[in-house]
Amino acid sequence: MFFPSAARLGRLPREIVWAVAKGMYGRSKRCYRLAHRRVMKELDHMYFLRHRRPHDMRTLWITRINPAGREHGLGYSRFTSGLKRGDIHLDRKALCAIAETEPVTFKVLVDEAKRIMYPKKLGEERDLSRF
């Protein structure tokens, strides 16, 4: 026969409740009933933040890659599309690290994405008059 655990029913052992409530203010660290409510809310909040962290990190990486790519004339969307079309498999975390620490390598990646996203048309010559 299956007996669900106390945690599944929303009841935690007293030792765990007191351990989590140890640093709280007021009666919620001394009275079990108040401590249990605060601890359950705190654990729920920690669960939510733990599952939100990957989303926040992804947003952070994108906001660092985008201006680095725009410095070289290519926005984030076209940059990532060019890398995917060119079979360059780098995740956002690696691209962010490269953009921050190795600007020359990042420029090479942007140039490769540009070459793939904006191919030269047949018969088109390079304009060398500016050099």
Contact between residue 17 and residue 32 where contact means Cβ atoms under 8 Å apart: yes
116 contact partners, CB below 8 Å, separation of at least 6: 82, 85, 86
Q: Could you tell me if residue 19 is left (phi over 0), alpha (psi between -120 and 50 degrees) or otherwise beta?
A: alpha
Instruction: Report pTM.
Output: 0.74
Mean pLDDT across 55-73: 96
Over residues 93-108, the mean pLDDT reads 96
Tens digit of pLDDT for each residue in 38-51?
A: 999 999 999 999 99
Q: Is the model's pLDDT at 59 over the cut of 60?
A: yes
Q: Dig out the tokens for 78 from the structure.
A: 């076209």
Closest CA relative to residue 83, chosen from 107, 48, 109: 109
